Amino acid sequence: MARPGYLSVYADQRTQNIFDEFVKLKGISKSTALTEMMEIYMLAQDENLYLTLKKKSLHSDYARDLLLQREDISPFNDFIIMKLGTSFTIDEQELNGEEIVQAYARMIEKYGYSWFSTISLHSGMAEQKIKFYKNAIQKGETVKILFVIGMGINEIRYSATIAEIESQREEFTCPGDPETIPEEFGPDETGKIWFKLTDLKEENNIKADMLKFRNGDGSVKRAITKSQFHFGYAYLPINENVE
């Protein structure tokens, strides 16, 4: 009779020897390595079934966190992406994408950060997304937003680091210091999503045609060129290299 918690795995001797040496050099226990291998296999074969079974055996909060982790890979490989179109100042002056970026860059240079708002999503960011990115920021991950410039260009031109995220279903005023909002938009500006931005700069490494959307795996370049795209979640496929 098999002992509870134990599993017999048969492999050819050469593979076993390589495996023994590998886990030894990596400092990983065989039980940890085998557990991860089983999880990877089940996820590859039938992710929905695996998560359903996992949820039955674990507390529901843990299961939700597990699902979130599987849906969104590390933030190092994930980006919030937004297309900047025409915007209007508090005195009804029209600003294009480049001018919007310049306004926020000016505030970041002065204060070290700036609060940026958008109403691009009708109901704000989904709670699941907010939780994921907030957790990533708290863990010290670098979460970036990529800004696409339209005006016939339709390419990523700028990126910024997101230090904080706040979002609600209804518009609300700045959750931080309103003095860091560009004067073009004023301290009473409202939005459904607010990002505290730092390190706003030109983006020379990541291009739109390198990215895919998390939802549906579609082409980012095609969407920003041929549709009314404004805001979304993208990732960089592992076969793409960024210097």
Average pLDDT over residues 214-228: 85
Pairwise pLDDT comparison (24 vs 159), residue with the higher score: 159
> For residue 187, is pLDDT > 90?
yes
Residues in CB range of 40: below 8 A, 6 or more apart: none
What is the spatial distance between Cα 6 and Cα 229, in angstroms, rounded to a whole number?
51
> For residue 5, is pLDDT > 70?
no
> For residue 182, is pLDDT > 60?
yes
The model's confidence at residue 73, banded by pLDDT at 50, 70 and 90, is very low
The confidence score (pLDDT) of residue 1 equals 44
The confidence score (pLDDT) of residue 202 equals 96
CATH hierarchy code of domain 75-235: 3.10.590
144-149 and 87-88 beta bridge pairing:
unpaired
What is the spatial distance between Cα 179 and Cα 104, in angstroms, rounded to a whole number?
12
Tens of pLDDT along 104-120? 999 999 999 999 999 99
> For residue 203, is pLDDT > 60?
yes
Judge whether 75 and 143 are in contact, CB under 8 Å.
yes
CATH 3.10.590 residue ranges for the chain: 75-235
Residues in CB range of 24: below 8 A, 6 or more apart: none
pTM of the predicted structure, to 2 decimals: 0.68
Residues in CB range of 179: below 8 A, 6 or more apart: 111, 187
CA 154 to chain centre: 21
The confidence score (pLDDT) of residue 205 equals 93
Judge whether 191 and 167 are in contact, CB under 8 Å.
no
Q: Write out the H or E segment, with its range, that includes residue 132.
A: helix 127-138
The confidence score (pLDDT) of residue 39 equals 77
Pairwise pLDDT comparison (4 vs 42), residue with the higher score: 42
> For residue 190, is pLDDT > 60?
yes
Average pLDDT, the chain: 84
The model's confidence at residue 25, banded by pLDDT at 50, 70 and 90, is confident
Instruction: Fill in the DSSP letter of residue 124.
Output: -
The confidence score (pLDDT) of residue 65 equals 56
* 3-class DSSP string for 178-213: HHHCCCCCCCCCEEEEEEEEEEEEECCCCCHHHCEE
